[in-house]
Structure 1
Amino acid sequence: MGEAEAPAPKPKPKPKPKPKPKPVAKPAEASDAPQAAPLPTPAANLAPVKLPELIVVCDNGQGAFYEGQGAVSLWVTRSGTITVDNPLRPLTPEATRVLQVVLGNKAATAFGPDLLALRRGGSPAALEATIGGPVRWDEQLTVLPDFLNIVSEAGEALARLDYRRCGDAPEVKAAPVAKAKPKPVAKSPRPPKASAAEGAGRGEGAAPRGLQLPQGAIPAGQ
């Protein structure tokens, strides 16, 4: 008899695959997070503010005519400066630029630290009294901006007047001069009149009597 065959080895069971660990979600970094669109700023929707340019020149004593909306117009006839010494800053006196303007037939002023933003003023004399210094007028009208920017005391824009042309400004009607009323002359008080009774008692007010002689001073028959 032959030798018995050895039994075939049993196959080893395959090891079960280990479950892979689920990846842990990392916290999103700031660069990976979706960024919201930036909000538009109000300035992005507004057109840039155009500043006036000093380009207007009027020669031969002519004025500059400016006109705005609503039939608002004026003539610029003179330019000057008011310089006031500031005691707090003695080395840097304050200078105010002044334009004399004609509205209708009346003189007024526009003033400010420069000619790019001006405030409305009264007559030149009233402005001098307000600021506290005389206006030193230029010999010739200075170079003016292409439009006048009129602002309030707080710097808010009130009106814009665009340059139109050079020409002869209308004559200014002189302000009426108030006549001074003559002061009443004080009359000297008169002494009170004495009554007839009081005058008679003092020998005043009675008719003057003739010279009286005592009886018998002149012989009878003469």
Structure 2
Amino acid sequence: MSAAMAALLMTAAAATAQVSDVEVGAAAEPSPKKPPPRRPPPAAKAAQPRTANPGGMAAAPVAKSLPPPNLTVLCEGKPARYAAETGVSIWVIRSGLVSAENPLRPLTPETTRVLQVVVSDRGATAYGPDLAALRRGGTPKALEATLGGAIRWDEVLTLLPDTLNLVSEANEALARLPFKECSEAPPVKPEPVRAKPKPDAKPQAKPRKPAGSDGETAGNAAPKAPKGLSLPQGALPGNP
């Protein structure tokens, strides 16, 4: 082999080695990482409409632990009797409605359902925004003064619930009386009439004493001289 051929082979081997080093170096370098795909922003929730609350008044909560009754009782011409487990009975004899103006909502009057009831032999009322939960009231006249309006009684007894749910002023359950039958109510005792207070007796005026009652009669009384006028001694009879 000639020297020229040997030099050519050595040059080719060196070039091959350089190419191999370049390939190894390129393989050793890590490829740049691609950035993670960005997640699309969550869609904005549609604003939910709020329930209108005129006057800022809170809605009345549902009575606690009392299921809503069903309006299924219809007594034609007779009162409806409800009875508790304790044996107490309540007769509903009339139904009505009271409408009162609310200064916060002058265009929407507040309505209250009223039931006139008989408990034993006493008359009373039960009232509420509807017949689902009722508060205990006094006589119809007292309830009208409390609600600020007259009761408009129905011509016939309205459709009543199958259960009377009585609640307190805080809307807490007090009693639950299921319907029993349509029957006559016991007679109601009339309310006692309060006696009107008597006016204070005026002190009687003392009778005046007649003139001369101190031992001298009116005819024997000595005449008196007018004020500012002086009489000389002896001018009056009996005075020397």
Using structure 1 for the length normalisation, give the TM-score: 0.64
- 1:87 is aligned to 103
- 2:175 is aligned to 159
Evaluate the alpha carbon distance shift between residue 189 and residue 106 of structure 1 in structure 2; reply closer, same or farther with a 3 A threshold: same
Evaluate the alpha carbon distance shift between residue 104 and residue 204 of structure 1 in structure 2; reply closer, same or farther with a 3 A threshold: farther
Residue 102 of structure 2 aligns with an amino acid whose one-letter code is N
Percent identity (aligned): 52
- 1:76 is aligned to 92
Evaluate the alpha carbon distance shift between residue 197 and residue 99 of structure 1 in structure 2; reply closer, same or farther with a 3 A threshold: closer
Q: Return the structure number with greater helix share.
A: 2
1:123 aligns with one of 139, 153, 156: 139
Evaluate the alpha carbon distance shift between residue 49 and residue 99 of structure 1 in structure 2; reply closer, same or farther with a 3 A threshold: closer
Residue 159 of structure 1 aligns with an amino acid whose one-letter code is A
Indicate conservation of the 8 Å contact 2:165/2:175, yes or no: yes
For structure 1, which runs of at least 5 residues remain unmatched after alignment?
1-47, 206-222
Indicate conservation of the 8 Å contact 2:66/2:165, yes or no: no
Aligned-residue CA RMSD (Å): 2.4
Evaluate the alpha carbon distance shift between residue 85 and residue 193 of structure 1 in structure 2; reply closer, same or farther with a 3 A threshold: same
2:69 aligns with one of 52, 55, 61: 52
- 1:106 is aligned to 122
* Cα distance between partner residues in 2 of 1:173 and 1:197: 63
Shift in Å, 1:135: 0.8
* Cα distance between partner residues in 2 of 1:49 and 1:118: 12
* Cα distance between partner residues in 1 of 2:149 and 2:66: 33
Evaluate the alpha carbon distance shift between residue 49 and residue 122 of structure 1 in structure 2; reply closer, same or farther with a 3 A threshold: closer
SS in 1 for 2:76: coil
Is 1:136 the counterpart of 2:152? The answer is yes
* Cα distance between partner residues in 2 of 1:172 and 1:195: 67
Evaluate the alpha carbon distance shift between residue 50 and residue 204 of structure 1 in structure 2; reply closer, same or farther with a 3 A threshold: farther
Residue 53 of structure 1 aligns with an amino acid whose one-letter code is N
Evaluate the alpha carbon distance shift between residue 201 and residue 104 of structure 1 in structure 2; reply closer, same or farther with a 3 A threshold: same
Indicate conservation of the 8 Å contact 2:69/2:162, yes or no: yes
Residue 125 of structure 2 aligns with an amino acid whose one-letter code is T
Residue 70 of structure 2 aligns with an amino acid whose one-letter code is E
Using structure 2 for the length normalisation, give the TM-score: 0.59
* Cα distance between partner residues in 2 of 1:166 and 1:198: 86
Evaluate the alpha carbon distance shift between residue 101 and residue 80 of structure 1 in structure 2; reply closer, same or farther with a 3 A threshold: same
Evaluate the alpha carbon distance shift between residue 204 and residue 186 of structure 1 in structure 2; reply closer, same or farther with a 3 A threshold: farther
For structure 2, which runs of at least 5 residues remain unmatched after alignment?
1-64, 222-240
- 2:230 is aligned to none
Evaluate the alpha carbon distance shift between residue 154 and residue 204 of structure 1 in structure 2; reply closer, same or farther with a 3 A threshold: farther
